[in-house]
Amino acid sequence: MNFSLEGRTYVVMGVANKRSIAWGIARSLHDAGARLIFTYANERFEKPVRDLGDSLEGQESLYYECDVTDDEAIKKTFAEIKNDVGTIHGLAHCIAFANRDELNGEYMNVTRDGFKLAHDISAYSLTAVAKEAYPLMTEGGGIVTLTYLGGEKVVNNYNVMGVAKASLDASMRYLANDLGKHGIRVNAISAGPIRTVSAKGVGSFNTILKEIEERAPLRRPVSQEEVGDTAYYLLSDLSRGVTGEIIHVDSGFNIIG
Ligand SMILES: CCCCCCc1ccc(Oc2ccc(Oc3cccc(O)n3)cc2)c(O)c1
């Protein structure tokens, strides 16, 4: 069995800059031989994403705008991808958002609108994207999303994003159930804290990083590359028997009381 991704095309959604977890995933897939398609939220991200994607040696990457809060935009993006490349072999969904003033202090300060926004972007968008992407996966495929421990247990300050991640995790399982018959697997990576532009929005991030170094079994934080390599595993035939699963790439922190 060959575990290379040569001859395969994957969509990576959510690269913001070189510290993004999505960029770590893109590099692992590229190094395994994949051709990459990048989507970005709006024109503000186009240049940084193109500059990163074009820095990858070898086959040309492709780039499309995709605002995941707009169903027509998602339809249009995947219609363009279908027109330009035809078949894709998988997708990495690395998109989330919540109002930063609802990512610290008490959870119950969350507003109805803030709750809806966090769930729309951080949870529903996986389902909205999977609906448009799965018909392009004519040879089967894999979908990976990013989640966090705060969706399984209370992590102070993570608040409404934790509630949205719980919804994302359950959505991932229901999508795995729907898409298994099409040979498409759906899984999540629960990444430990990594210093990204998104992480800056979460209160007490530095405290959690220090706790990882003191209490996680591996006594160190994980890197974008380590998450990227687990995404490669989940999107390759190495994980052909795995779907609906959450793999913790977090130095083992989730097993500690
Ligand atoms: C207290 C928990 C510390 C560890 C948090 C690890 C983590 C880091 C980043 C994560 O991704 C996001 C993505 C968007 C997000 O919402 C933001 C980010 C920046 C500004 C803003 O207005 N909202 C918050 C976290 C994430 O889901 C989880």
Element (H, E) at 38: strand 35-40
| Residue 41 contacts residue 22 (beta carbons within 8 Å) | no
Which pLDDT band holds residue 94 (cuts at 50, 70, 90)?
A: very high
Based on the residue annotation, tell me whether 158 is a catalytic residue of this protein: yes
pLDDT attached to residue 231: 99
Instruction: Establish whether this prediction's ipTM goes over 0.95.
Output: yes
CA distance 198 to 204: 13
Q: What is the mean pLDDT of residues 13-31?
A: 98
**3-class SS of residue 246:** strand
Q: What's the whole-model pTM score? A: 0.99
CA distance 35 to 4: 12
For ligand 1, what atom is nearest to the CA of residue 200?
19
* Beta bridge partner(s), residue 35: 9
CA–centroid distance, 127 to ligand 1, in Å, is 20
pLDDT attached to residue 62: 98
95 lines ligand 1 (CB under 6 A): no
100 lines ligand 1 (CB under 6 A): yes
pLDDT attached to residue 2: 84
| Residue 136 contacts residue 88 (beta carbons within 8 Å) | yes
Token duo for residue 178: 């729907």
CA distance 256 to 159: 20
Q: Which domains does the chain have, with CATH numbers?
A: 9-251 (3.40.50.720)
The catalytically annotated residue of 148, 174, 232, 233 is 148
CA distance 230 to 32: 12
CA distance 61 to 27: 12
Which residue, by CA, sits nearest to atom 6 of ligand 1? 193
- Is the pLDDT at 1 greater than 90, yes or no? no
Report the amino acid identity of residue 57.
E
- Percent share of the chain, pLDDT over 90: 99
Based on the residue annotation, tell me whether 148 is a catalytic residue of this protein: yes
Element (H, E) at 147: strand 141-147
Q: What is the 3-state secondary structure (H, E, C) of 169-217?
A: HHHHHHHHHHHHHHCEEEEEEEECCCCCCCHHHCCCHHHHHHHHHHHCC
List, for residues 202-217, the tens digit of each pLDDT value: 999 999 999 999 999 9
96 lines ligand 1 (CB under 6 A): yes
For ligand 1, what atom is nearest to the CA of residue 99?
22
Q: Report the Cα 137 to chain-centroid distance in Å.
A: 18
Which residue, by CA, sits nearest to atom 3 of ligand 1? 205
pLDDT attached to residue 201: 97
Ligand 1 pocket mutation, candidates 198, 213, 223, criterion most atoms within 8 A of CB: 198
Which pLDDT band holds residue 233 (cuts at 50, 70, 90)?
A: very high
CA distance 238 to 24: 19
Mean pLDDT of the chain: 98
**3-class SS of residue 10:** strand
CA gyration radius, the chain: 17
Ligand 1 pocket mutation, candidates 117, 125, 161, criterion most atoms within 8 A of CB: 161
Ligand 1 pocket mutation, candidates 125, 155, 202, criterion most atoms within 8 A of CB: 202
Q: What is the mean pLDDT of residues 54-67?
A: 97
List, for residues 128-178, the tens digit of each pLDDT value: 999 999 999 999 999 999 999 999 999 999 999 999 999 999 999 999 999
CA distance 29 to 31: 5
Task: Supply the DSSP string of 94-109, one letter for each residue.
Answer: ------GGGSSS-GGG
